[in-house]
């Protein structure tokens, strides 16, 4: 484990991480209100593969979602997850930014958070729903049209879902905190409903065969990513500390690696039981995650090489850790 970047002078609260070729983009919320009120402004920082700061941009509102559209090569920066959402498109090569896009509707009453892309469309999580029970969309599909993000419901918060935990069965969801999303290697769209302590898996999203399953978790998580089993570098944003950490190791294929922010841990998630296996403990508030495999393995006396440990089993060779953090 090592410090990849940060703290960033003049900015705070790093969260979402987007990898674009050899560079890393990080969204800093700067303590702004999550509905964009009070003049909230966020920083989008670009780092090199070694963590050197290359550039910064400023967007209006509180940034919480930052993802690369692999089909257009543009970065989507989504602001104001609690209300009054907007979207800014960034060209990562020229760093030019679009004017803010508004959203056509917020049927759930809140804002929008994370973005995921595949061949069937663009999907955005509908965060901070105002109703309980929540019968509005938890995930919307999105298309850009004339400065507006047109949204239609894709997965509803009260969907019927197959329970993946032991005992199985089906349940009617009531998603109260849709948050981060990612497409897993098997093609499933994976959404965390943070305060509900759930991961929601959508098979065939956007198709007639779409189906939903749910995994009840040991605690809440934010970003979840999926390893390959090879030696990889995981970047983790510790929002309270203002630091981006790098963790190098073998992250088992088919297992989730999640930022358990309330526990201050990066954990492996058993996708059959929802149980956690700590990988790194002692963080302040881990949130954003992304695999960034350039430069692996990492040199230097601050490296913690997780050679097959944690989820994959095996031996660990440990050197000095950043203050407050430890491997489990």
Nearest of 311, 293, 305, 286 to residue 13 by alpha carbon: 286
pLDDT value of position 296: 84
> What pLDDT, in 10s, does the model give residues 49-98?
999 999 999 999 999 999 999 999 999 999 999 999 999 999 999 999 99
pLDDT value of position 328: 54
Whether residue 319 contacts residue 325, with contact meaning beta carbons closer than 8 Å, is answered with no
Cα-only R_g, the chain: 19
Q: Provide the total of helices (H) and of strands (E) in the chain, helices listed first.
A: 0, 28
d(CA 254, CA 56): 35
| Segments of the chain scoring below 70 in pLDDT | 297-328
User: Pairing relation of β-strands 102-103 and 86-90?
Assistant: unpaired
Prediction pTM value? 0.91
- How far is CA 5 from its chain centroid? 18
HSE (side-chain half, CA atoms, 13 Å) at 129:
26
Nearest of 20, 245, 264, 224 to residue 125 by alpha carbon: 224
Kindly list the structural domains of the chain, giving each domain's residue range(s) and its CATH number in brackets, ordered by start: 101-216 (2.40.10.500), 221-328 (no CATH)
d(CA 324, CA 285): 12
Secondary structure (DSSP) of 11-33: ---EEEEEEETTEEEEEE-TT--
Residue spans of beta strands (DSSP E) within 134-264? 137-145, 148-156, 160-163, 170-172, 178-183, 189-193, 198-203, 211-216, 224-226, 231-238, 243-250, 256-260
Both tokens of 246, joined, read 């790098």
Secondary structure (DSSP) of 27-94: EE-TT--TT-TTT-EEEEEEE-TTS-EEEEEEEES-EEEEEE-TTT-PEEEEE-SSSS-EEEEE-TTT
* Phi-psi group of 197: left, alpha or beta (phi > 0 → left; psi -120 to 50 → alpha; rest → beta): left
- Residue 324's alpha-carbon distances to 159, 238, 281, in angstroms, are 41, 12, 8
> What pLDDT, in 10s, does the model give residues 144-172?
999 999 999 999 999 999 999 999 999 99
pLDDT value of position 200: 98
Whether residue 26 contacts residue 288, with contact meaning beta carbons closer than 8 Å, is answered with yes
Whether residue 61 contacts residue 40, with contact meaning beta carbons closer than 8 Å, is answered with yes
The helix/strand/coil state of 262 is helix
């Amino acid at each position: 484990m090592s410090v990849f970047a940060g703290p960033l002078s003049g900015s705070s609260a790093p969260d979402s991480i987007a990898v674009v070729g050899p560079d890393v983009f990080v969204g800093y919320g700067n303590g702004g209100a999550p509905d964009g009120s009070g003049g909230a402004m966020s920083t989008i920082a670009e780092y090199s593969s070694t963590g050197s700061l290359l550039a910064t941009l400023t967007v209006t509102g509180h940034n919480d979602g930052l993802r690369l559209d692999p089909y257009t090569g543009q970065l989507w920066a989504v602001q104001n997850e609690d209300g009054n959402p907007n979207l800014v498109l960034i060209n990562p090569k020229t760093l030019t930014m679009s004017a803010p896009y508004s959203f056509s509707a917020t049927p759930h009453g809140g804002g929008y958070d994370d973005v995921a892309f595949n061949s069937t469309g663009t999907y955005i999580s509908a965060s901070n729903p105002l109703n309980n029970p929540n019968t509005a969309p938890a995930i919307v599909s999105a298309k850009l049209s004339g400065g507006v993000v047109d949204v239609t419901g894709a997965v509803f918060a009260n969907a019927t879902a197959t329970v993946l935990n032991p005992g199985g069965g089906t349940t009617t969801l009531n998603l109260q905190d849709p948050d981060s999303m990612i497409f897993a290697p098997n093609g499933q769209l994976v959404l965390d409903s943070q305060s509900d302590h759930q991961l929601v898996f959508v098979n065939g999203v956007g198709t007639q065969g779409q189906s939903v399953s749910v995994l009840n978790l040991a605690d809440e998580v934010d970003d979840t990513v999926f390893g390959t089993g090879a030696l990889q570098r995981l970047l983790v944003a510790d929002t309270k500390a203002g630091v981006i950490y790098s963790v190098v190791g073998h992250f088992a294929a088919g297992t989730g690696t999640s930022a358990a922010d309330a526990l201050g841990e990066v954990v492996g998630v058993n996708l059959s039981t929802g149980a956690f296996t700590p990988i790194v403990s002692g963080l302040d508030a881990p949130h954003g995650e992304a695999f960034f495999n350039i430069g692996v393995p990492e040199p230097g006396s601050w490296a913690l090489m997780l050679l097959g440990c944690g989820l994959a089993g095996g031996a660990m060779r440990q050197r000095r850790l950043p203050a407050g953090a430890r491997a489990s």
